[in-house]
Amino acid sequence: MGPAEDGPQPVPHREGGPAKRPLVATQVERPACCPKYHQAIELIGRRWTGAIVSVLLRRQALRFGEIAEAVPELSDRLLSERMKELERYGVVVRTVRPGRPARVEYELTEMGRALAPAVRELERWARRWLA
Amino acid sequence: MGPAEDGPQPVPHREGGPAKRPLVATQVERPACCPKYHQAIELIGRRWTGAIVSVLLRRQALRFGEIAEAVPELSDRLLSERMKELERYGVVVRTVRPGRPARVEYELTEMGRALAPAVRELERWARRWLA
């Protein structure tokens, strides 16, 4: 089941204490994991999905074969699965351009392009910290 | 097999054309997926890992049970696996504080804290784009 079907996850509440209570050493308030962030990272962090988004961010529109070439270790079957998932989320749009043969192109939607700052920051981290 | 064992992945090269050739419609140069970024997203995007890092970013040090409470749908077995993985990468450090019982705490290393901008950007995206 993908994150889309999961819906927001419950955020645990601690009994007692006002909501805006400052975080103190006794840690009466527990940090709760943001369900939307969790959903986002589960989408983008899926095996290969981050790589696909990163590749699409550098171009206007790409054909299936071009994406496959840019992420060479990904099988066509898995790439097709990932593209459908990204389409379902609204991150990617698939366009069939008429012609012989018809040309199928994928590009990021506004929602997908909005991932650029997160991807850039992660790329920066990776360059600095991964050997 | 985790990304740590995978090592950097080969970046495909296109024959012909200088490296700085401008990107044109014929797309002789293909966008190549950054292997380090791929490695980073595969680490952070692993099921639950992003959520764990996000929780740790909000605190100095947390005990196992506190992390478990903040990410309530994660089993202890899986949390333990993820923490070991993050330790292996150098993102998290585990400290045993003497006492009866001994107190085991986890906190982010400098490398782990450096993930803050990427996590913040992804949180921002999630708030804006996920229903």
pLDDT digits (tens, 9 = 90+) for A104-117: 999 999 999 999 99
| The pLDDT value given to residue A20 | 39
Distances in whole angstroms, Cα of residue A46 to Cα of each of A50, A79, A85, B19, B39: 7, 12, 10, 31, 12
H/E stretch holding A118 reads: helix A116-129
Distances in whole angstroms, Cα of residue B23 to Cα of each of A59, A92, B15: 9, 21, 15
* Closest residue on chain A to B39 (Cα): A126
| The pLDDT value given to residue B21 | 35
pLDDT tens-place values along chain B, 131 residues long: 444 434 444 444 433 333 433 333 333 344 455 678 878 887 887 778 888 998 999 988 999 999 999 888 889 999 999 999 999 999 999 999 999 888 899 999 999 999 999 988 988 999 999 87
Question: Do the beta carbons of residue A30 and residue B66 sit within 8 Å?
Answer: yes
| The pLDDT value given to residue A16 | 38
| The pLDDT value given to residue A32 | 53
* Residue-wise pLDDT tens digits, A1-37: 444 434 444 444 433 333 433 333 333 344 455 678 8
| The pLDDT value given to residue A34 | 67
Decide if B125 and A40 are in contact by the 8 Å CB cutoff: yes
| The pLDDT value given to residue B106 | 96
Tokens of A121: 């920051």
Q: With cut-offs at 50, 70 and 90, classify the pLDDT of residue A41.
A: confident
The dihedral built from the CA positions of residue B12, B15, B19 and B24, taken in this order, carries a sign that is: negative
| The pLDDT value given to residue B45 | 78
| The pLDDT value given to residue B26 | 37
Q: With cut-offs at 50, 70 and 90, classify the pLDDT of residue A38.
A: confident
A81 to chain B, closest Cα gap in Å: 17
Strands B103-108 and B92-97, bridge-based pairing = antiparallel
Q: With cut-offs at 50, 70 and 90, classify the pLDDT of residue A129.
A: very high
pTM for the structure as a whole: 0.68
- The count of other CB atoms within 10 Å of the CB of residue B118 is 25
Closest CA to A82 of A115, A43, A41: A43
- Smallest Cβ–Cβ distance between A45 and the set B50, B62, B123 belongs to B50
Would you call A96 helix, strand, or coil by DSSP?
strand
- Smallest Cβ–Cβ distance between B40 and the set A10, A49, A125 belongs to A125
A41 to chain B, closest Cα gap in Å: 6
Strand partners, B94: B106
- The count of other CB atoms within 10 Å of the CB of residue A93 is 16
| The pLDDT value given to residue B123 | 87
Would you call A105 helix, strand, or coil by DSSP?
strand
- Smallest Cβ–Cβ distance between B54 and the set A34, A124, A126 belongs to A34
Rounded-to-integer distance, Cα A11 and Cα A34, Å? 7
| The pLDDT value given to residue B32 | 53
| The pLDDT value given to residue A14 | 38
Rounded-to-integer distance, Cα B84 and Cα A78, Å? 28
Q: Which residues of A touch B29 (CB under 8 A)?
A: none
H/E stretch holding A79 reads: helix A76-89
Tokens 């200088």, residue?
A: B18
Decide if A130 and B73 are in contact by the 8 Å CB cutoff: no
Rounded-to-integer distance, Cα A114 and Cα A56, Å? 12
Decide if B126 and A39 are in contact by the 8 Å CB cutoff: yes
Q: Which residues of A touch B40 (CB under 8 A)?
A: 122-123, 125-126, 129-130
Q: Which residues of A touch B41 (CB under 8 A)?
A: 44-45, 49-51, 54, 122
Rounded-to-integer distance, Cα A61 and Cα A83, Å? 13
A31 to chain B, closest Cα gap in Å: 6
* Residue-wise pLDDT tens digits, A59-103: 889 999 999 998 888 899 999 999 999 999 999 999 999 998 888
H/E stretch holding A106 reads: strand A103-108
